[in-house]
């Protein structure tokens, strides 16, 4: 396709609700603005769903569930395969759309489209691999049949930081398993999801299987759906605080839940690590998505023997990162999602400095329009600083120095979160020993990126429940039915 303008790519996206296979205005024609985080200006207005709109979407999903569950697995998989190809073919326009609404540089947006598409390809293949079991009863008098069936109508809530991939990571297994769904994207980034809905409709997804609610009132629209009782599943990606509230709501009707919540990832560098590889991994784990990722390196622990050199070289790399609007060539540090994000990062840095941390580079906001914060490195960060226990969600790398393996393990595990940990060492015994003792659902061993559609993504403790991706991801949308056979 030829070059497409910013206004053109926004204009091509439907701005209404997608309910029962139809684009529909919100009740009363209500809308809310989608802002460009690099300028603060409105890109467009999208439909602002009401609780009544939410109920209409639930009605549509319920009406479509039985037929969709009976649809052949191969047919479900082929729909995902066609949608995968559409995502690949439309990478440039979808990446531009994402950059405009979320702020990340175009290179990262292109990477996310590829990542998002891969979930559809993976689960297209998993749709035909849903199995069961057949066994003889221990006393020989009967047989046990075990079948896997769709959970049913599913409620999906996605965040703003990966607006396409977090959608495909949930929609892919739901489609493959035979579940209808209602998805509510974050209010900051609804356009990517609306574009995805159109792609899935073009790929042949039947009416009512996917319903999209854009709204500025997430709680007001979603809580009645959770408490209604007809939906049987909730999958949420977002903060732990919101996840706790949703779990309380789900308890009323005992909804099955899977949640990918907050993180506080330790990044551990031992004296014997390959320092070049550790620096490369730190940059990836810290600066992917401008640091706005639950998997971001939140606490960088460096053993005393290499701490000075690591800090110096990390500072050089961070200080050299080009900052600007994500559509500009070469930009690595784009804007944060909104002013609240800037205020949070600023507050965490200010708190650390007031407690004795030293700023090696950055440490300030940027004058002018947009939600920009400088790439920052701090050292001598005290353990009682707020950023030691809170997600930073921005381009700030705090360095903590440690002496012993036991010391760093205690520090790394001293958090309510347990999503991902990273460690760099050349000692295979230490690598396995520390990996097993780190309290997290995932470990990056000598690598700064763990996310992969073919692997199970998820955490322990306050970082969530269940897994997404890999052969485990589809299980979240399947129930196990046991049939006792009397012979």
Mean pLDDT (the chain) is 97
* CA distance linking residue 382 with residue 225, whole number of Å: 44
**Residue 73 tokens, joined:** 């697995």
Alpha-carbon distances, residue 129 vs 77, 79, 123, 167, 206 (angstroms) = 10, 16, 10, 22, 22
- 281 three-state secondary structure: helix
Residue 33 clears pLDDT 90, i.e. is over it: yes
**Residue 446 tokens, joined:** 């000598």
- 206 three-state secondary structure: coil
| Half-sphere exposure of residue 243: CA atoms within 13 angstroms, side-chain side | 22
Specify the DSSP class assigned to residue 477.
G
Q: DSSP for 86-153?
A: HHHHTHHHHHHHHHHHH---HHHHHHHHHHHHHHHHHHHHHGGG---EEEE-TTSSEEEEEEEEE--S
* CA distance linking residue 414 with residue 175, whole number of Å: 38
Catalytic residue (choose from 260, 292, 391, 468) = 260
* CA distance linking residue 184 with residue 212, whole number of Å: 6
**Section 275-298 average pLDDT:** 97
Annotated catalytic residue 92: no
Three-class HEC string of 423-438: EECCCHHHHHHHHHHC
- 447 three-state secondary structure: coil
Residue 2 clears pLDDT 80, i.e. is over it: no
* CA distance linking residue 445 with residue 273, whole number of Å: 11
Helix (H) or strand (E) holding 225: helix 218-228
Which spans in 296-338 are helix H? 304-319
Residue 289 clears pLDDT 50, i.e. is over it: yes
Share of the chain above pLDDT 90, in %: 99
Task: For residue range 332-387, list pLDDT tens digits in order.
Answer: 999 999 999 999 999 999 999 999 999 999 999 999 999 999 999 999 999 999 99
Alpha-carbon distances, residue 71 vs 133, 197, 480 (angstroms) = 21, 20, 19
Give the sheet arrangement for strand 358-361, strand by strand. Answer: 358-361, 376-379, 396-402, 297-303, 265-269, 420-424, 442-445
* CA distance linking residue 361 with residue 222, whole number of Å: 42
**Residue 367 tokens, joined:** 């004058």
Cβ–Cβ under 8 Å, residues 266 and 422: yes
Task: For residue range 130-163, list pLDDT tens digits in order.
Answer: 999 999 999 999 999 999 999 999 999 999 999 9
Give the sheet arrangement for strand 142-150, strand by strand. Answer: 133-136, 142-150, 478-486
Specify the DSSP class assigned to residue 43.
E
pLDDT recorded at residue 325: 97
- Phi-psi map region of 208: left, alpha, beta (phi>0 left; psi -120 to 50 alpha): left
Task: For residue range 429-469, list pLDDT tens digits in order.
Answer: 999 999 999 999 999 999 999 999 999 999 999 999 999 99
Work out the burial of residue 484: count CB atoms within 10 Å of its CB; fewer than 13 is exposed, 13-18 middle, 19 or more buried: exposed
Helix (H) or strand (E) holding 352: helix 339-354
**Section 221-227 average pLDDT:** 98
Task: For residue range 22-32, list pLDDT tens digits in order.
Answer: 999 999 999 99
Query: In the structure, what pLDDT confidence band is assigned to residue 4 with cuts at 50, 70 and 90?
Result: confident
pLDDT recorded at residue 1: 43
CATH superfamily of 6-261+464-486: Aldehyde Dehydrogenase; Chain A, domain 1 (3.40.605.10)
The pTM assigned to this predicted structure is 0.97
CATH superfamily of 265-445: Aldehyde Dehydrogenase; Chain A, domain 2 (3.40.309.10)
Alpha-carbon distances, residue 36 vs 40, 79, 226, 377, 414 (angstroms) = 5, 32, 31, 27, 37
Specify the DSSP class assigned to residue 386.
G
Decide whether 6-261+464-486 matches 265-445 in CATH topology.
no
| Domain residue extents for the chain | 6-261+464-486, 265-445
Specify the DSSP class assigned to residue 166.
H
Do β-strands 420-424 and 265-269 pair in parallel, antiparallel, or remain unpaired? parallel
pLDDT recorded at residue 373: 98
Task: For residue range 72-107, list pLDDT tens digits in order.
Answer: 999 999 999 999 999 999 999 999 999 999 999 999
**Section 232-243 average pLDDT:** 97
**Section 217-231 average pLDDT:** 98
């Amino acid at each position: 396709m030829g070059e497409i303008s910013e206004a053109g790519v926004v204009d091509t996206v439907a701005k209404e609700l997608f309910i029962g296979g139809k684009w529909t205005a919100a009740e009363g024609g209500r809308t809310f603005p989608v802002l460009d985080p690099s300028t603060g200006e409105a890109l467009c207005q999208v439909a602002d769903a009401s609780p009544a709109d939410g109920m209409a979407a639930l009605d549509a999903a319920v009406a479509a569930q039985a037929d969709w569950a009976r649809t052949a697995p191969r047919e479900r998989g082929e729909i995902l395969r066609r949608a995968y190809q559409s995502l690949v073919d439309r990478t440039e326009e979808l990446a531009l759309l994402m950059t405009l609404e979320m702020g990340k540089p175009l290179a990262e947006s292109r990477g996310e489209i590829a990542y998002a598409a891969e979930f559809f390809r993976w689960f297209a293949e998993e749709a035909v691999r849903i199995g069961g079991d057949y066994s003889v009863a221990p006393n020989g008098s009967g047989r046990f049949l075990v079948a896997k069936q769709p959970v049913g109508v599913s409620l999906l809530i996605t965040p703003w930081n990966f607006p396409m991939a977090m959608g495909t990571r949930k929609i892919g297994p739901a489609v493959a398993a035979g579940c209808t769904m209602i998805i509510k994207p974050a209010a900051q980034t609804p356009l990517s999801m609306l574009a995805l809905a159109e792609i899935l409709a073009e790929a042949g997804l039947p009416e009512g299987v996917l319903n999209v609610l854009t709204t500025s009132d997430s709680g007001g629209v979603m809580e009645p759906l959770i408490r209604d009782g007809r939906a049987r599943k909730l999958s949420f990606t977002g903060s732990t605080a919101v996840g706790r509230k949703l779990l309380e709501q789900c308890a009323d009707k005992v909804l099955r839940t899977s949640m990918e919540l907050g993180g506080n990832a330790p990044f551990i560098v031992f004296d014997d690590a390959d320092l070049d590889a550790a620096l490369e991994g730190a940059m990836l784990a810290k600066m992917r998505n401008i640091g706005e990722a639950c998997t971001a390196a939140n606490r960088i622990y460096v053993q005393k023997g290499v701490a000075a050199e690591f800090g110096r070289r990390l500072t050089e790399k961070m200080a050299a990162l080009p900052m600007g609007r994500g559509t500009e060539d070469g930009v690595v540090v784009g804007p944060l999602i909104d002013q609240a994000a800037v205020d949070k990062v600023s507050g965490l840095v200010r708190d650390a400095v007031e407690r004795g941390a030293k700023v090696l580079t950055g440490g300030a906001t940027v004058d002018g329009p947009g939600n920009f914060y400088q790439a920052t490195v701090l050292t001598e960060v005290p353990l009682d600083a707020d950023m030691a226990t809170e997600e930073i969600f921005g381009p700030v790398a705090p360095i903590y120095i440690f002496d012993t393996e036991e010391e760093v393990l205690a520090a790394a595990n001293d958090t309510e979160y347990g999503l991902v940990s990273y460690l760099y060492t050349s000692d295979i015994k230490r690598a396995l020993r520390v990996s097993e003792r780190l309290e997290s659902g995932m470990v990056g061993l000598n690598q700064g990126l763990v996310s992969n559609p073919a692997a199970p993504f998820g955490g322990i403790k306050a970082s969530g429940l269940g897994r997404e991706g890999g052969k485990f991801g589809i299980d979240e949308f399947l129930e196990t039915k046991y049939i006792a056979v009397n012979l």
